[in-house]
Structure 1
Amino acid sequence: MADRTSSSLAVQAGKAEIMAVIADLEAYPEWASGVREFTVQETGADGRAARARLTFDGGPFSDTVGLVYTWEGDDRVTWRLAEKGTVVTGLDGAYTLADDAGGTRVTYDLTLDVRVRVPGMVKRKAEKRIVDTALKGLKSRVEG
């Protein structure tokens, strides 16, 4: 896997409220730019997604991939690629939530690999845009 891209921001809400929005994968098309469809295929004992399929429109390309999730209460969720797409060959990510003054600090980590050759600087810029857009969408959804 390539280098991980990471960003964080403060959200004026508690961890449980934020994680509830993160865990509602099927609602992502309502607030996460570029996500066309999220389908939960299997849930764990906690009722949260264990496996899901994500269809996205990432600007120059669209793809559908399968993801596997690991939930750590309301503190962290990680996902990894379980089924490659036409373009996406690697996808690992995490949301980590930590108490912060008056709310919660949300950190989003992402590593993305694609089948097409992309210069490192261009790839990191695209990852940064994905991460920052997702965090802003999450903040807006939770605080709105």
Structure 2
Amino acid sequence: MADRTSSRIIIQADKKAIMGVIADYPSYPDWADGIKSAEVLSEHPDGRPELVRMTLSSGPISDTYTVRCQWSGDDELRWDLSEAGAVVNGMNGSYTLAEGAAGTEVVYELAVDVKIPMIGMFKRKAEKIIIDSALKGLKRQVEK
């Protein structure tokens, strides 16, 4: 899973507000296209999610899988696949936040492996669509 796809966006809010929305996994179906449900299975001592079961339905992929979250304050969230689904058998990603004069830059990186054969170019295009959609949804949710 060496190939990672990334994108970035500027959001008019501070890191704490943005990370608050990112950490609220049960609300993902409200703003993250393709996420049908997200259930927090366990939390870190600070109350942030550790294990999250997610159900995705996007294009030809419909699956349920579990991710393990690692937080670095309000600067970064990294996750990786804890329990594979029927289709998704590898995943890791991150949100990295950096405040600047124009707002907070949010960088989203994602790498997904699926059990069905997929040409690398199409896989990266699918990841890019997921990332761009998620960033736009995050921006709408935070700035509303």
Tell me which interval the TM-score lies in, with the shorter structure as reference length: over 0.9
Q: Please give the per-residue CA displacement for 1:26-72, whole angstroms capped at 9, x wherever unaligned.
A: 00000100000000000011100010100010211200001100000
Provide the identity percentage: 51
**Scaled by the length of structure 1, what TM-score is found?**
0.98
Q: How big is the shift at 1:83?
A: 0.4
For the 8 Å contact 1:4–1:111, the answer to whether it is kept is yes
Q: How big is the shift at 1:2?
A: 3.4
Show the counterpart of 1:135. 135
**Consecutive unaligned residues in structure 1, runs of 5 or more:** none
C-alpha separation in 2, matches of 1:58 and 1:91 = 15
C-alpha separation in 2, matches of 1:9 and 1:41 = 29
C-alpha separation in 2, matches of 1:100 and 1:119 = 37
SS of 1:86 mapped into structure 2: coil
C-alpha separation in 2, matches of 1:63 and 1:101 = 40
Show the counterpart of 2:21. 21
Residue 124 (str. 1) matches residue 121 (str. 2) = no
SS of 2:47 mapped into structure 1: coil
- Show structure 1 runs of 4+ deviating over 2 A: none
Residue 105 (str. 1) matches residue 105 (str. 2) = yes
Task: Report the residue type matching 1:59 in the other structure.
Answer: G
Show the counterpart of 1:92. 92
Residue 70 (str. 1) matches residue 61 (str. 2) = no
C-alpha separation in 2, matches of 1:2 and 1:94 = 14
Aligned residues: 144
**Consecutive unaligned residues in structure 2, runs of 5 or more:** none
C-alpha separation in 2, matches of 1:123 and 1:9 = 21
For the 8 Å contact 1:92–1:110, the answer to whether it is kept is yes
C-alpha separation in 1, matches of 2:36 and 2:2 = 25
